[in-house]
């Protein structure tokens, strides 16, 4: 009879997407860094096509400290971190990227300082004395990162040198208490935690050197940045309006511009107002559908046959909304100066209607 392994004191949550080549080396590094600590690692993989989950399970099959959480039909760094942390029963949870860009040798220091009661959250920072953002690919990424930080700083209760960090540790019970209030979308789980903790978290800053990526590529792209903007808007509105509705409305605005541009093009080609507007409306709806599918509902993105079914539903029901919208386009087109109150009301009715249909019929949560 062998006795069961000791329960972990520290759970290391590793969000990963297409990180197969990094899994085994990362486990080896954690093992070296966390010697003497009862730890476990939870790899949260969003069904990566490269077989990341299988790589994690292969290790888990011989090492009980390793677990793999494989999520299907969803994407997102923040929600992966939340689910990984909530799957843990350890006293402390840490979050670290699965690409070895974060310095795992800082974990014991984070644990010691948290356990000593020096603060509520230990944050790995690239921007305090002793830290280094050298591994950020290119000057553009560096400037972008600094700009985002300066912006986020405006909304934080107390200064944090690296609020975009994806490398931090806190008590699991504390995380659980904040979890129901987290927006959970996009990349910025730390910012989300800092915004939603009541009272504000007392921060311990742990400088580290951000390493260059060895294998694979970054998943941070324009859509991720748009989600970041959404998180800040949400902060300004104090959560009064759902984030999805904000994204949906932003997309709708792009649709209106697409509509007007297509209408002008149709008219220039000699089409009458009504046929030009009809074609422009369909173009705008397709643009809206595509943007909503890849941005607003990124986590439930429709593909293949479901995509076509979704598009058909969207065109059908939003077409009804478009009839309400038609009046506005007409007024704008025929008389530039009469953006009337009734026109604005028409747009609001249309966007609420479209949103209701989208949320319930087109991208309904499975």
187 lies in the site for ligand GDD, by CB under 6 A: yes
149 lies in the site for ligand GDD, by CB under 6 A: no
**Closer Cβ to Mn ion, 98 or 310, answer by number:** 98
- The region of 12-20, 177-185, 328-336, 356-364 touching ligand GDD under the rule CB under 6 A is 12-20
Structure-block tokens of residue 53: 């989950």
Give the shortest CB-262-to-ligand GDD separation in angstroms: 33
For 237-248, b/e burial (b = at least 16 CB within 10 A) is eeeeeebbebbb
292 lies in the site for ligand GDD, by CB under 6 A: no
- The region of 94-102, 266-274, 309-317, 329-337 touching ligand GDD under the rule CB under 6 A is 94-102
User: 225: closest CA among 123, 298, 280?
Assistant: 298
What residues from 230 to 259 belong to the interface with Mn ion (CB under 5 A)? none
What residues from 234 to 263 belong to the interface with ligand GDD (CB under 6 A)? none
281 lies in the site for Mn ion, by CB under 5 A: no
Give the shortest CB-9-to-ligand GDD separation in angstroms: 23
Q: In whole angstroms, what is the distance from residue 18 CA to residue 123 CA?
A: 25
- The region of 217-225, 275-283, 288-296, 327-335 touching ligand GDD under the rule CB under 6 A is 217-225
354 lies in the site for Mn ion, by CB under 5 A: no
Alpha helices in 87-242 (DSSP H): 107-115, 138-153, 172-178, 189-196, 222-236
**Closer Cβ to ligand GDD, 285 or 298, answer by number:** 298
Cβ-based neighbours of 305, under 8 Å, separated by 6 or more: none
104 lies in the site for ligand GDD, by CB under 6 A: no
CB under 5 to 8 A by kind: which of Mn ion, ligand GDD, none does 77 bind?
A: ligand GDD
Q: How far is CA 323 from CA 129, 282, 318, 349, in A?
A: 59, 12, 9, 11
Q: In whole angstroms, what is the distance from residue 50 CA to residue 1 CA?
A: 38
93: β partners: 11, 170
Q: Which of 9, 29, 70, 75 binds ligand GDD (CB under 6 A)?
A: 75
Q: In whole angstroms, what is the distance from residue 232 CA to residue 147 CA?
A: 13
Helix (H, G, I), strand (E, B) or coil at 35: coil
19 lies in the site for ligand GDD, by CB under 6 A: yes
Q: Which of 22, 52, 101, 292 binds Mn ion (CB under 5 A)?
A: 101
CB 196 within 8 A of CB 162: no
98 lies in the site for ligand GDD, by CB under 6 A: yes
Q: Which of 60, 114, 164, 350 binds ligand GDD (CB under 6 A)?
A: 164
Helix (H, G, I), strand (E, B) or coil at 71: coil
Residue ranges of E strands in the chain: 10-16, 39-45, 66-70, 92-95, 121-125, 168-171, 203-207
CB 288 within 8 A of CB 317: no
Give the shortest CB-357-to-ligand GDD separation in angstroms: 27
Q: Which of 8, 10, 17, 208 binds ligand GDD (CB under 6 A)?
A: 17
43 lies in the site for ligand GDD, by CB under 6 A: no
- Which residue is closest to ligand GDD by CB? 166
Q: In whole angstroms, what is the distance from residue 128 CA to residue 3 CA?
A: 44
Give the shortest CB-143-to-Mn ion separation in angstroms: 17
Interface residues with Mn ion (CB under 5 A)? 99, 101
Interface residues with ligand GDD (CB under 6 A)? 15-17, 19, 44-46, 75-77, 80, 97-99, 101, 136, 145, 164, 166, 187, 218-220
């Amino acid at each position: 009879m062998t006795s069961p392994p000791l329960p972990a004191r520290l759970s290391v949550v590793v969000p990963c997407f297409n990180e197969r080549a990094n899994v085994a080396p990362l486990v080896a590094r954690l093992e070296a860094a966390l010697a003497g600590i009862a730890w476990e690692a939870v790899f949260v993989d969003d069904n990566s096509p490269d077989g990341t989950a299988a790589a994690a399970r292969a290790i888990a099959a011989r090492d009980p400290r390793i677990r793999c959480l494989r999520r299907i039909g969803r994407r997102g760094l923040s929600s992966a971190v939340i689910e990984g942390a909530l799957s843990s029963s350890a006293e402390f949870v840490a979050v670290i990227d699965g690409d070895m860009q974060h310095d795992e040798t800082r974990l014991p220091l984070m644990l010691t300082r948290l356990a000593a009661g020096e603060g509520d959250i230990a944050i790995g920072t690239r921007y305090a004395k002793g830290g280094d953002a050298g591994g950020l690919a290119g000057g553009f990424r560096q400037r972008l990162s600094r700009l985002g930080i300066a912006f986020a700083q405006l909304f934080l209760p107390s200064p944090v040198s690296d609020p975009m960090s994806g490398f931090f540790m806190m008590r699991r019970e504390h995380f659980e208490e904040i979890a129901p209030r987290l927006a959970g979308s996009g990349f910025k789980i730390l910012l989300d935690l800092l915004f939603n903790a009541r009272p504000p978290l007392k921060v311990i800053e742990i400088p580290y050197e951000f390493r260059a990526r060895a294998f694979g590529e970054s998943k941070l792209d324009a859509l991720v940045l748009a989600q970041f903007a959404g998180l800040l808007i949400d902060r300004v509105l104090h959560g009064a309006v759902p984030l999805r509705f904000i994204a949906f409305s932003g997309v709708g605005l792009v649709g209106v511009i697409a509509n007007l541009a297509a209408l002008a093009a149709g008219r220039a080609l000699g089409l009458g107002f009504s046929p030009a507007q009809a074609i422009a409306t369909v173009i705008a709806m397709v643009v809206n559908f595509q943007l909503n599918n890849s941005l607003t509902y990124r986590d439930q993105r429709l593909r293949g046959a479901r995509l076509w079914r979704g598009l058909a539903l969207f065109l059908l029901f939003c077409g009804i909304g478009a009839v309400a919208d038609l009046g506005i386009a007409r007024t704008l087109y025929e008389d530039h100066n009469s953006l009337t109150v009734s026109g604005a009301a028409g747009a609001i009715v249309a966007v609420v209607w479209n949103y209701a249909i989208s949320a319930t019929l087109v991208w309904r949560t499975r």
